[in-house]
Structure 1
Amino acid sequence: MVTIDAPVELQGTEYCNYRSPLSTRYASKEMQYNFSDQKKFSTWRKLWIYLAKAEKELGLDITDEQIAEMESAIHDIDFAAAAEHEKKVRHDVMAHVHTLAERCPLAAPIIHLGATSCYVGDNTDLITLKHGLDLLLPRLAAVISRLAKFADEYKSLPILGFTHLQPAQLTTVGKRASLWLSDLIMDERALSRARDDLRFRGVKGTTGTQASFMQLFKGDSAKVRALDKRVAELAGFDKRYLVTGQTYSRKVDLEVVAALSGLGATVHKMCSDIRLLASRKEVEEPFEASQIGSSAMPYKRNPMRSERCCALARHLITLHANAANTHAVQWLERTLDDSANRRITLAEAFLTADATLLTLLNICQGLVVYPKVIARHIAQELPFMATENIIMAMVQAGGDRQVCHEKIRVLSHEAGAQVKQHGKDNDLIDRVKKDAYFAPIISQLDKILDASTFIGRAPEQVTEFIEEEVDPVVSKYACVLKEVEKPVTLNI
């Protein structure tokens, strides 16, 4: 049996309890607050106030004094008392109803009037999801904005392209970054759509039929419908789900988590690319002056930020299956096996996405490019890639294509042997220069081997992409970008 072996004076402190690294190391204070108990239960109280206000407007016997009393207690929550109530009643909503009733005796008779637990639980979750997306979208826009500047700055710098992780035709540093940007633009669209699609559950009752409210309003269907609409308006929603079971459909959670999971896939791909480039010493994430890469190997410059992003993103990706399975097993009007799961999954999805974007912004603010290393790598591979151009130049100078092709083939294999078998540099061009057959084009070789002639329309593509697709997205967040784009300092 495992026992607590910590000193007595430490037992019960935060250091003897499990603490999520999302809250202690990675996620922002704003996102932590969004999923905090204070935010959750003060939102419950706001929802009870919205309900009371709307019911009063529609004719129920509720006074301004009762509403004012509840308004004075929105943030004044006795968590200890609520915990004691929950131990007795084994019901979190009723525990907080009792706690608020003790704080607001005048309003006690009308708190939670006609509502079911999901009135506060589900509507609070929808508010939290909305606010969470409101936090994430500007962070994502800041990443897009900074990466766009990087792509534009390096749109004309040639670099080896890779297919199958083997050297392929040249691209540019900026063009490669535009591929990351393109995915991020799709993520912004998905997250924006998820946010704009969010509706309010409203007041629907125990199985979604609004039967309790029909009783309260003596069968007046129009008033019940007006109540549903008015509460949604007070909560800041212009749309509501017109049909629900006891809960709003967990398909909503799935759509939101799917968008977050998609962002995770994008970040994992991008940061994996950065890690590969760092191993080639072509592009690096920022590395602080006092940062240690390895306790045993002091020369190392590990891409720890990109590795962190990949680690967090991998967790974010897996949460999609969790949300999908939770929706799939909601029987009929609702089962409670979603509750414990959603407490974990929804919070972790947003906190993980938040931490990932903060780290990614830090990376994008300090990406370092090493043009000379890139040029050396190009020089090792470009002679092979230029063989077709050499053949074309020889044909234009009067040579026979088939003869030229055979000569280039033989020389290429000889140069390849020097690289692979003897570990030497690629000497194909030297071999071409020494072969009298190629004398007619020797003066053209420097031009033929100019890396900038192998990048096609990459610079123009980057410019067009930024102007047509990136700038309109960034402009949506112009009013908040200055604040969000401030240099990010990672906690650890």
Structure 2
Amino acid sequence: MIDRYCLPVMRDLWTDEAKYASWVRVEVLASRAQADLGVIPREAIAAIEQGRVPTVSRVRECEVTRDHEILAFLEAYTETIPGGHGRWVHYGMTSYDLVDTALGHTLARSCDLMIEAATRLRDVLVRRSLRHWDTVCVARTHGIHAEPTTFGQKMALHAAAVDRCLTRLVAARSAVAVGTISGPVGTYSKIDPMVEAAVCAELGLGVEPIPSQVVARDRHAEMLSVLAVLGAVVEQIGLELRLLQRTEVREVEEPRTSAYQGSSAMPHKRNPTSSERICGLARLLRAYADAGYENVALWHERDLAHSPVERVVFPDAFTIAHYQVTKAAEIVDGMTVFPERMLANLESTRGLIYSADILLDLVDGGMDREKAYRVVQDAAAETAETGRHLSETLADRDVATTDDQFRPARFLSRAHVVRDRMEKMFDVEM
């Protein structure tokens, strides 16, 4: 994690301090459950609860002589427990009973923050779509002017994509919000399954139904994949806004602070740096998903190959994804839209974007489709070369046109179909 791409609310879930606090909570809950079962003395619980979350520096000191973070943590934690009752901590548990159960809780809370951020992005996109449903602009395919559309429909397209990501996020949260306290190799040989049930219930987690010594890593691969897909969807939004901000297009502009400076050398520059940033971060999220796939296959009941990867990938993936989605919502919410420039761009090709309707009108009038296509294509090529309006180059070929054939409204007569779908999808009135 680097602070530049972290927001505190997510970053703070992934610090070592937060991790050790989660570990203490799991150990306390497990000890309570053991006491309820009569496995450890009831009087030990009060002492265990008095134990303090160890500092990172103290755990590191202990780790020097142990070369094992969990044992170092247990030493640092139990030395703060009075009356010798620290010996009951971690009773019957193995390391990943602690680590993976606490991790499931952290992942669940991280997913909740992601769902909150993605919901806001979707809602902002819906609002902008509503505001600009009738703002006419030109649609582009392959980067080339195609036919009229509306900026509202463009935003609705992205809103629907984010909404699908929300469905995936909810499913992925369910996948990773699990714990396991099943002892070495997952056979409950040294711990009653009731301990696992009690701890996971208290933390709001499900239980790994067929335990091993670790929670199955396909769950985490799914989560990282969902973050990568969400990142790609946000990248699509950012790329659209970048393309629309080009000097020769300038149909939108991302929000800027009063301190904004676009270039160290050229004072006039107004670069789409925020949109570029959220696009670039998507590349990292895809790489983290790949790392998640590599972590699925472990030797037999467990190995440790996944551990160093997850120490990097989980904090980075969640903090970057959260930052990316949050910033995307800010960009969309604060961007300036230039409807007049959109209309000017739409008409800049001198009628070429209306060629499809003219083609069909000729076919309706009895002309062979192939011949009609060639006539309109030839006239369009002359328009592109000379700058004369398409109606003029068609007239040279004895094709009469009307002003009605060169109006965007004719192409948007069924816009209500998409509008009605959007109303139902997002439960809004437009």
Structure 1 pair 415/83, CA: closer, same or farther in 2 (3 Å)?
Answer: same
Give, in whole Å, the separation in 1 of the partners of 2:286 and 2:374. 50
> Residues of 2 paired with 1:38 and 1:404: CA distance?
72
Superposed CA RMSD in Å reads: 2.4
The structure 2 residue matched to 1:230, chosen from 173, 198, 207, is 198
Matches within 5 A, 1:63-74: 63-64=42-43, 66-74=44-52
Q: How does 1:44-193 map to 2 (within 5 A)?
A: 44-64=23-43, 66-75=44-53, 77-106=54-83, 107-193=85-171
Matched, 1:467 2:429: no
Which of residues 448, 451, 456 is equivalent to 2:405?
A: 448
User: How is 1:290-329 mapped onto 2 (pairs within 5 angstroms)?
Assistant: 290-328=259-297
CA deviation after TM superposition for structure 1 residue 455, in Å: 2.6
C-alpha displacement at 1:212, in angstroms? 1.7
The amino acid that maps onto 1:158 is: V
Indicate if the aligned counterparts of 1:286 and 1:367 stay in contact, CA closer than 8 A: yes
* Letter of the structure 1 residue corresponding to residue 72 of structure 2: A
- Could you tell me whether the CA contact under 8 Å between 2:101 and 2:200 is conserved in 1? no
- Residues 1:340 and 1:198: Cα distance change in structure 2 (over 3 Å): closer
| TM-score, with length taken from structure 1 | 0.80
Shift, 1:43, TM fit: 0.9
- For 1:28, the equivalent position in structure 2 comes to 7
Q: Which among 315, 321, 325 is matched to residue 347 of structure 1?
A: 315
Distance 2:226 2:363 in 1: 54
In the alignment, which of 251, 271, 278 is matched to residue 238 of structure 2?
A: 271
Aligned match of 1:254: 221
Instruction: Give per-residue Cα distances to partners, 1:235-280, cap 9 Å, x unaligned.
Output: 222x211222211111111011111111111111221111111112
Partner Cα distance (2:397, 2:295) in 1: 73
The code of the aligned residue for 2:342 comes to I
Distance 1:408 1:93 in 2: 75
Match of 2:349 in 1: 381
Corresponding residue for 2:182?
204
Extract unaligned runs of 5+ from structure 2: none
* Structure 1 Cα separation of the partners of residues 269 and 135 of structure 2: 26
The alpha-carbon distance between structure 1 residues 225 and 395, as it changes in their structure 2 partners (threshold 3 A), is closer
Query: How big is the shift at 1:456?
Result: 4.3
1: CA distance between counterparts of 2:5 and 2:71? 34
CA offset digits 1:339-392 (Å, max 9, x no partner): 111101111110110110121111111122111211111112361233454466
Are 1:338 and 2:306 an aligned pair?
yes
Equivalent residue, structure 1, for 2:334: 366
Q: Secondary structure at the match of 1:170?
A: strand
8 Å Cα contact 1:293/1:301 also seen in 2? yes
Equivalents in 1 of 2:325, 2:332: separation in Å?
A: 10
Q: Deviations over 1:387-437 (max 9, x none)?
A: 4544666788xx77469877655543322212xxxxxx453334557x595
2-structure distance, mates of 1:292, 1:226: 60
- Tell me, yes or no, if structure 1 residue 428 matches structure 2 residue 390: yes
What residue in structure 2 maps to residue 221 of structure 1? none
Distance 1:201 1:136, change over 3 A: same
1:40 — aligned with what? Answer: 19
8 Å Cα contact 2:101-2:178 kept in structure 1:
yes
Kindly tell me: are residues 470 and 391 of structure 1, through their superposed partners in 2, closer, same or farther at Cα, counting changes over 3 Å?
A: closer
Whether the 8 Å contact between 1:201 and 1:244 is mirrored in structure 2 is no
Letter in 1 for 2:335: L
What do the CA deviations read for 1:183-241 (whole angstroms, capped 9, x no partner)?
1111100001111233432311111111122xxxxxxxxxx23222122112222x211
Structure 1 segments unaligned to the other structure (5+ residues): 1-19, 214-223, 419-424, 473-492
Q: Say if 1:123 and 1:309 are closer, same or farther in 2 by CA, change over 3 A.
A: same
Query: Judging changes above 3 Å, is the alpha-carbon distance between structure 1 residues 406 and 342 closer, same or farther for their aligned structure 2 residues?
Result: closer
Sequence identity (%): 24
In 2 relative to 1, CA 43–394 (structure 1 residues): closer, same or farther, beyond 3 Å?
A: closer
| Equivalent residues, number | 423
Matched position secondary structure for 1:386? helix
* Distance in 1 of aligned mates of 2:133 and 2:91: 62
CA distance in structure 1 between the aligned counterparts of 2:376 and 2:221, rounded to whole angstroms: 57
Deviation of 1:54 after TM superposition, in Å, equals 0.5
Residues 382 and 449, structure 1, Cα contact 8 Å, conserved in 2: no
What TM-score does the superposition give when structure 2 sets the normalisation length? 0.91
The 1:113–1:129 alpha-carbon spacing in structure 2 relative to 1, beyond 3 Å, is: same
CA distance in 2, matches of 1:73, 1:120: 16
Aligned to 1:220: none
Contact residue 44 and residue 124 of structure 1 kept, 8 A: yes
Q: What is the CA distance between 1:82 and its match in structure 2?
A: 1.8
